[in-house]
Structure 1
């Protein structure tokens, strides 16, 4: 007789399959976007319970104004990270583009140009300036063969330093007087710039997930050598990605100008870390080739909700860094758990 707990020779142990219902529940709980959405809802509920004023149109309008520049540079970082790179210059580029646009609008206003035309030209100048910085990043990576971390670290220092040199550290105003009025919410918590940002998010998401550009981006991030062998012009595509990153950073600089009514040289300081945090929390793998825009949107909303909620309930804003650090650690742990799941490893 076989010993208790042992199978007779020649028999194979059969493991009972996981019931489909339990498997779906497990997949749902391991889905980072689902977890993020629940965290966002939980934050809103907790902050509202602690201070009911949090759940108001005014507060949500302020949160969306904070969210605008965050999501723009987070989208920029998303394309770069999925391609297997990183862009540390998005924050400095934001500030530098805002300063250049502020000088341009100051000159136009002084010359008697109307507010509408001045703001329109300011948007073009900011986007062009940001795109130029992005192109410099691409040149350093493709021509000088610097790794993205070093290349964008160099442009971070250059753009941030030039902003201080050009302004002496002081904000640049005296531009269109009606610019700051555009940031006033008029459609619930949404302002005109907020509506434009929402449209950009939708377009960027479709572009990433439904277009050839997005497929190439995922392919390069997954395996650049295989992408090259498949006929993708990797260097040209990376150039487009870094120019797109700079373009969105420039728009973020203009967004902040409209909100503040001036171009502040330090407005983008540290925002590159916020962008990377939104990307990581949103489920984009830093190794490249993995990530969805919807997760980045929720991640950036969480980063916009945290400081506003802490201020309203009377907690020092410095705790924001602690909360963000915890969220990053939790997001990376969840990614590791999903990767190690037997079902996903097949």
Structure 2
């Protein structure tokens, strides 16, 4: 009699434990990041079957070099989209900042300045350009009260035009060899200094969004800006910070492209805003604001860079790649819409 009672009690006690474990496994299986990892694995398999060179250390290293600037722009978009905004200028800022660094480094190098100091001044010039554009975006949105789409569309046009005027439509060469070495020297056949910097920024961004007041305010503004103001959050000041950070991150992306190529190209960054938005949206960042994680954005950026690299290896022409990026955005937004519809029912 005692044994039967003990057995039934044990069964009753373990049933809730097993149920909780099952719920945790189901939650893990349906999380955005888990689904993205599965999509990435299938994509790698598909491209590897079409071209075996895709599945190699050299190919993965190249993908990560392409991933670095996309990741920086995608982090910028993540902060901004979570607040309920958008930044169409990140690609143009990438191009203008890279050209600015190229001009500063070439001019100071030709004047006899040591390479280390010349490169430092080039980095400062690029970051100041990005900061300036980010501040202008913030002012247009918080003071002039332009919609983020219109404000950043205007600055995108200004940056693209300025880049063409400054360069005359040609590349800015004349970089010292230290620039190319800094951008292309690989460690463990994969990592470069710019890539390691990007990974460090990724960790900082994750901590900022998930562990700080800055992150809580960012989500609060995107969820309900009016309620955020009532709660005492200085929404305009916070948006100024977010767009300024976005400009600086886009400028860093321009620097890393310049370090990799060894020249400033006026064509750099074209379509970068689409890649950044695609990475964020694929990663689960809702265009409605207030939802998303940096970890999802990182996987979205990796998928975006991997898709573009795979398309090149299987012989798809570059002009068609933007079609694929646009399609990825449409599919990701559609999936988010289906998910919201299911959650309401």
CA pair 315-268 structure 1, distance change in 2 beyond 3 A: closer
Query: How far apart in 2 are the matches of 1:115 and 1:306?
Result: 36
The reply to whether residue 332 of structure 1 matches residue 333 of structure 2 is yes
1:102 is matched with 102
Unaligned 5+ runs, structure 2: 1-18
1:89 is matched with 89
Q: 1:97 Cα shift?
A: 1.0
2:305 is matched with 304
Q: Pick the structure with more helix per residue.
A: 2
SS at match of 1:275: helix
Q: 1:174 Cα shift?
A: 1.1
Query: How far apart in 1 are the matches of 2:255 and 2:235?
Result: 30
Contact 2:101 2:122 in 1 (8 A): yes
1:57 is matched with 57
Q: What TM-score comes out, normalization by structure 1 length? A: 0.89
SS at match of 1:298: helix
CA pair 338-245 structure 1, distance change in 2 beyond 3 A: same
1:9 is matched with none
What RMSD over aligned residues (CA atoms) do the two structures have, in Å? Answer: 1.9
Q: 1:227 Cα shift?
A: 0.7
Q: What TM-score comes out, normalization by structure 2 length? A: 0.89
Q: 1:20 Cα shift?
A: 6.3
- My pick for the range that moved more, 239-248 or 327-336, is 327-336
- My pick for the range that moved more, 81-90 or 113-122, is 113-122
Q: 1:57 Cα shift?
A: 1.6
- My pick for the range that moved more, 151-160 or 332-341, is 332-341
Contact 1:32 1:334 in 2 (8 A): no
CA pair 270-138 structure 1, distance change in 2 beyond 3 A: same
Contact 2:274 2:325 in 1 (8 A): no
Query: How far apart in 2 are the matches of 1:314 and 1:154?
Result: 35
The reply to whether residue 290 of structure 1 matches residue 291 of structure 2 is yes
Query: How far apart in 1 are the matches of 2:338 and 2:21?
Result: 20
SS at match of 2:266: coil
1:197 is matched with 198
1:152 is matched with 152
Query: How far apart in 2 are the matches of 1:329 and 1:70?
Result: 18
Residues 215-243 of structure 1: CA deviation (Å, up to 9, x unaligned): 11001111111111111111111000010
Query: How far apart in 1 are the matches of 2:336 and 2:23?
Result: 18
Residues 70-124 of structure 1: CA deviation (Å, up to 9, x unaligned): 0111111110100111111111111111111111111111122222222222122
| Number of residue-to-residue matches in the alignment | 326
Query: How far apart in 2 are the matches of 1:190 and 1:243?
Result: 28
CA pair 71-108 structure 1, distance change in 2 beyond 3 A: same
1:45 is matched with 45
2:229 is matched with 228
Query: How far apart in 1 are the matches of 2:308 and 2:189?
Result: 21
Give matches, 1:184-263, under 5 Å.
184-263=185-264
Query: How far apart in 1 are the matches of 2:324 and 2:171?
Result: 30
Query: How far apart in 1 are the matches of 2:57 and 2:49?
Result: 16
Contact 2:271 2:322 in 1 (8 A): no
Contact 2:277 2:329 in 1 (8 A): no
